[in-house]
Amino acid sequence: MTVSTDASVVGVRDLVKRYGDEAAVDDLSFSLAAGTVTGFLGPNGAGKTTTLRLLLGLAEPSAGEALVFGRHYRELDRPSCLVGAVLESDDFHPGRSGRDHLRVLAAATSIPEGRVDEVLDLVGLTSAARRAVKTYSLGMRQRLGLAGALLGDPDLLVLDEPANGLDPAGVQWLRSVLRSFADGGGTVLVSSHLLAEVAQSVDRVLIISQGRLVADAALDELAGPNQSLEDVYLELTAETVS
Amino acid sequence: MREALRSEFVKQHTTKTTVSLLGAMLGLVLVSVLLHGFGFSARDLAIRSNQLRVFVEAGEGLGATFAGLLGAMSVTTEVRNGTIRPTFLSIPQRGRVIAAKATTSMLTGLAFGLVATGIAALIGTIVLSGRGIPVQLDGSGYALLLAGGASAAALWAVIGVGIGAIVRNQVIAIVAIFVWIEIVENLLVDSAPAISRYMPATLGQAITGDRIGALHTPALGAALLALYATVAIAAGWRTTTRRDFA
């Protein structure tokens, strides 16, 4: 087992993922410190999702490494107790109830069933818990996904476009969940293609374009005196489009 | 590994897939045994090997087919619905997940085979008796039929998990298993018996004591089918641990 001496929660070094001749992730390096909320931004197709999959052991990098808590994800035993992740908004069996979906995940990590009801309550799905997921709205599915990520009471949350499909009240709710998670010492990496969606809830942004990191800064460092955050974001992500 | 097994067990019992497969299998077993039991002449059905054929075709044949589908779908349903991602996020040691799927599918497949063969033998015996045809199978013949039907289906469930893990596409996996068992091997039995007796569906029949097209003893049939299951699950394990999951 490779144990890195790096104390960062997430450590990505010289990460490359190629599909044929195309590099979806191109020499990416960044790290996350504990207790921070980091926005992972970039236009669609910039390589955000690929990076998260490499970090979570679902895909193998072509070069470099992506570590969580100093280790490769696939070397973690019961990773749900360290890392909670949602990659797609619809990773459910349509005929299974929301509660049973969580019971499947709980059984995989020996999490007691009482915790299933706790997280259902936390995301506001208690009354719909015994209904089949196919009857859920997109917003309810996002909440169920988040419930699954929170199940193991992790220290790191990795969320890929969690605000997709949420109404304004849902986005506000999501922000408050992320904020309170970080206030409790947790670390959050949340991706989005919309800066406005995360600007109010993140401490720091990583911006990638065409697989390369184009900005790594605290939110207030990013905008200049005559530029809005949105302008900077668009400029950074447009620059590398040839 | 115990956690992976428990998770697979909860998966199997929280959708209608298992019950639907069981229902479809029982319906087909009933149709098959009634068609054969009433379709053949009394003279043909008086022969022991023909009686056994009716029980085996309906019982072991459909039991193994549906156990294979059950095994394959334990993987392909997860790929299709995307639940394979939360599964591998919870248990990133993918070999453990495949081993758990093989184990739970094998146990449920065993039950499928036992039920299918038991119902086929029961209804078949009632039909034969009803037509006044003396039943030629003795106690040990029935015992071998049931044990063989259950073992063949258990091993086919493991083969199914392997095929599902390699193919990953639900429709292709289901069609491949059906076409192989019901068409390809059926054709081989007639056109190339020397080859077909080494093929997995025919080996399944051999375990039940049915010797048509299968020149093996039940024990050798079981050993060879177990070899197929081992190769299939090893190949499924290898592809699953090496591939990227998008």
**pLDDT score of A75 more than 50:** yes
Whether A79 and B83 lie within 8 Å, measured CB to CB: no
Q: How far is A140 from chain B (nearest CA, A)?
A: 16
Domain spans, chain A: 1-82+156-242, 90-153
ipTM, 2 dp: 0.90
pLDDT value at position B211? Answer: 66
**Chain B residues with CB-CB distance to A115 below 8 A:** none
Kindly report the pTM of this predicted structure: 0.90
User: Residue B121's Cα: distance from chain center in Å?
Assistant: 17
Q: How far is B169 from chain A (nearest CA, A)?
A: 16
pLDDT lower than 70: segments of chain B = 211-216
Q: How far apart are alpha carbons A242 and B148 in whole angstroms?
A: 66
Q: Ramachandran region of residue A35, left (φ > 0), alpha (ψ -120 to 50) or beta?
A: left
**Chain A residues with CB-CB distance to B245 below 8 A:** 53, 58-59
B132-189 per-position pLDDT tens digit: 999 988 998 899 999 999 999 999 999 999 999 999 999 999 999 999 988 898 888 8
pLDDT value at position B214? Answer: 59
**pLDDT score of A242 more than 50:** no
State mean pLDDT over A23-31.
93
CA nearest to A41, candidates A221, A202, A227: A202
Whether B7 and A105 lie within 8 Å, measured CB to CB: yes
pLDDT value at position A239? Answer: 53
Mutate which: B16, B90, B94, vs A, most A CBs within 10 A: B90
Class of domain A1-82+156-242: alpha beta
Least confident of A110-119, A174-183, B80-89, B150-159: A174-183
A83-100 per-position pLDDT tens digit: 999 998 889 999 999 999
Mutate which: A58, A78, A101, vs B, most B CBs within 10 A: A58
